Amino acid sequence: MTEINGTSRNFHKIGAVSSLSGVPTPTLRVWELRYQTFQPHKTESKHRLFTDDDVLKATLLRRLTEQGHGISNIAKLNTTELNNLLQQQQETNQRKARTGLQGQSASVAVVGLTLAARIESKKFTLSFNNQAIRITDIFSNLNQALSATFQTKTQILLIHTNSLDAGVQVDIHRLAKMNDSLQVIVLYNFGQEFIIESMKRSGMIVRREPISDSDLADLINSLRVVDTESSTAHLPSGTLIPARKYDDIELMRIAGISTEVLCECPRHVAEIITQLASFEQYSRDCLNKSTEDAHLHSYLSTVSGSARALFESALEMVAKHEGIDLRALSK
């Protein structure tokens, strides 16, 4: 944190901007001098300091120029305009690439510039085995994300924070609720244990850095529906596994009504969902605690989560057949 003109902000030298954005230092200098892309602050010792917004802008410009956009046409756009243009470009690319793809891409919003640069790297793409993910938004930090309007509804919210405390926990829950995100992955450096456990119990995946690219890819893959045959017709391959519809207390109530009807299916299905949800959480906890056997636990979490979601749909079919109002039992 550096104070300039009475304001404390995060500032970066041009080398740090290059490392975070993936844009070579000479290219950044050309963009600054030729196109006035950045307006860095100058210290008394003549050093040029760039803001977090400059880092984000450089990252977006790199992604767009790699897509074929001329730098002279986009250099003076602000980060919101660049994000909009990138979203349009990605939607176009997705339509072109959809032919031959069986699954759908997962939309991901990233909070944290270093994390965004990592997700964008070729090394991570290789770790992800070319699975389709679509980055819809990039934000420098939680404050920027909370004050921004997302380009589209986000399926996965991927967040990096240095410190994980009660205030950050509240902000993450607010952000997920504001944007109706299906799944949240939080990477942190330092945090309070009870906060971490509370976030895990709420259904978030929480992992302490450092975490390898392959392990991060496993975490993301653990949220996607397993690729199976026609039995998953209600859950298209490659989409996100939905969050739980019914908690343990609601399932216990549903199981308890089976004595009032002739069919025992509501009780059996509710018990199966409870067991699958427990194993799904157990597999995620294994992913959260250790990188050992990460691929196996990712697969087990995916299988159990997919099965749990399918049985929730089956429970609704059974309830409809038996005339049971599940919404009344969930109150």
97-101, 109-113, 199-203, 238-242: least confident range: 97-101
Domain assignment of residue 84, yes or no: no
CA 243 to chain centre: 14
Using DSSP, how many helices (H) and how many strands (E) does the chain show?
15, 10
Contacts made by residues 269-273, CB under 8 angstroms, sequence distance 24+? 269/311, 269/314, 269/315, 269/318, 270/246, 270/315, 272/311, 273/246, 273/308, 273/311, 273/312, 273/315
Same domain (yes/no): 25, 128:
no
Within-domain flag for 317: yes
Look at residues 221, 239, 273 and tell me which one is the last residue of a structural domain. Answer: 221
Enclosing domain of residue 169: 101-221
Considering the domain architecture, whether residues 143 and 121 belong to the same structural domain is answered as: yes
Shared domain for 272 and 293, answered yes or no, is yes
280-328 pLDDT, tens digit per residue, is: 888 877 765 555 566 677 778 888 888 888 888 888 888 887 777 777 7
CB 179 within 8 Å of CB 153: yes
150/38 same-domain check: no
Which of 226, 184, 225, 230 shows the shortest CA–CA distance to 207? 184
Q: Rounded CA gap, 72 and 168, in Å?
A: 39
CB neighbours of 296 closer than 8 A, spacing ≥ 6?
none
Residue 119 lies in a domain: yes
Whether residues 267 and 159 share a domain: the answer is no
* Nearest alpha carbon to residue 304 among 286, 277, 284, 285: 277
| Tens-place pLDDT, residues 178-232 | 887 778 899 999 988 888 888 887 778 888 888 887 778 877 777 765 443 434 4
Task: Show which of 46, 69, 96 is a domain's final residue.
Answer: 96
Structure confidence at residue 86 (pLDDT): 82
Question: Looking at the structure, do residues 4 and 61 belong to the same domain, yes or no?
Answer: yes
Nearest to 219 by CA among 134, 127, 126, 319: 127
Q: 182, 199, 221: which is the final residue of a domain?
A: 221
What is the domain-level CATH number for residue 189? 3.40.50.2300
Are residues 130 and 207 located together in one domain of the fold?
A: yes
Same domain, yes or no: 210 and 137: yes
pLDDT value for 103: 47
Looking at the domain assignment, is residue 130 inside a domain?
yes
Q: Can you tell me the mean pLDDT for 114-124? A: 76
Residue 34 lies in a domain: yes
Same domain (yes/no): 106, 217: yes
82 in any annotated domain: no
Question: In angstroms, rounded to a whole number, what is the distance separating the alpha carbons of residues 157 and 111?
Answer: 8
Structural domain includes residue 183: yes
Structural domain count of the chain:
3
